[in-house]
Amino acid sequence: MNNDTELLKKRFAELSRRADGRGCLLYSGFLSLNEQSALASMARTLPAPYSLYGGAEGCERRMARFGYAEGDDTEGYPIDIIEIAPKSEKFASDLTHRDFLGALMHTGVEREKIGDIIVRGKRAYAFVEASLAPYFADTLETVGRTSVVCRAGAVVPEGELFRAEESIVRVSSLRLDALIAQAFRLSRGDAAELFTAERVFVNGALAKGPSAAPKEGDIISARGFGRFIFSAVSGQSKKGKLVVEIKRYV
């Protein structure tokens, strides 16, 4: 365990102790999959329960809430959505996730204050810590060379949040490394390296290993490449390979 992970676990333990001792709810910043996995590994040692939420179902970066919550598990999280749109669609550049993230962080805000960023065309919807949404709205003026308008309290249009395209892959055996290689068009060697680098997650938890077999409905993430849902094995090809249905997030 490296020093950063040790410090992170100490912070989780402290938040849990304070929430339990005060009888209140306390929140972390937005956590990466690695950080969520670190939290899951110590769940049994925490004095107070915790839950995870990123602003909408399907978000990968999520806040942890420590303490005993009543009612809806998703209510009360200090999360807002900001919409970042070009002032002129006609003259706007083609912008990427990296462009929008870089612009948000260039305002001086730490990464843990920013959750998922959904890019749709030349605009983006970003989940951010609620207290900072007005700051982004007032401060963010450009993304790359494109002049933008940033609006807090945005609502993502229906169908625009997370999209998953259905596709078919063929694998020789039902292993995570084989599925990842086919889903992201990698060699088996490159797929195996992702496991060595601890960049593969299943349902938000660090993958056990390349030979693990997924279950139907599992969300498989490869950091830096994307994620997909393992839907089902639908048959076998003439060459004896398994025909697998997946839904890849786009």
Q: How many percent of the chain have pLDDT more than 90?
A: 85
The 3-state DSSP class for residue 124 equals: strand
**Does the domain spanning 3-66 belong to CATH 3.40.1130?**
no
**Which of 225, 196, 198, 201 minimizes the C-alpha distance to 214?**
201
Mean pLDDT of 57-83: 91
Mean pLDDT of 55-77: 90
Q: Match domain 79-151 to its CATH number in 3.30.70.330, 3.40.50.80, 3.30.1300.10, 3.40.50.300.
A: 3.30.70.330
Per-residue pLDDT at 160 exceeds 80? no
Question: Read out DSSP for 16-45?
Answer: HHHHHHHT--EEEEEE-HHHHHHHHHTGGG
Measured CA to CA, the distance from residue 55 to residue 35 in angstroms comes to 17
State residue 69's pLDDT score. Answer: 87
Per-residue pLDDT at 233 exceeds 90? yes
Mean pLDDT of 160-186: 93
Are 82 and 130 in contact, with CB atoms under 8 Å apart? no
Mean pLDDT of 66-87: 91
Q: For residue 59, what is the DSSP state?
A: -
Question: Higher model confidence: residue 158 or residue 128?
Answer: 128
The H-assigned helical ranges of 106-173 are 133-139
Mean pLDDT of 207-236: 94
Q: How far is CA 81 from the centre of its chain?
A: 15
For the segment 190-209, what is each residue's pLDDT rounded down to a tens digit? 999 999 999 999 998 899 89
pTM (2 decimals)? 0.87
Surface-to-core class of residue 145, CB atoms within 10 Å of its CB (0-12 exposed, 13-18 middle, 19+ buried) = exposed
Show me where the domains of the chain are located. 3-66, 79-151, 164-249
Per-residue pLDDT at 59 exceeds 80? yes
Burial per residue of 88-101, b for 16 or more beta-carbon CB atoms within 10 angstroms, e otherwise? eeeebeebeeebbb
Per-residue pLDDT at 71 exceeds 90? no
For the segment 82-122, what is each residue's pLDDT rounded down to a tens digit? 999 999 988 898 999 999 999 999 999 999 999 999 999 89
Task: Provide the CATH topology of domain 164-249.
Answer: 3.10.290
**Beta partners for 203?**
none
Average pLDDT across the chain, whole number: 94
CA dihedral sign of residues 37, 41, 42, 44? positive
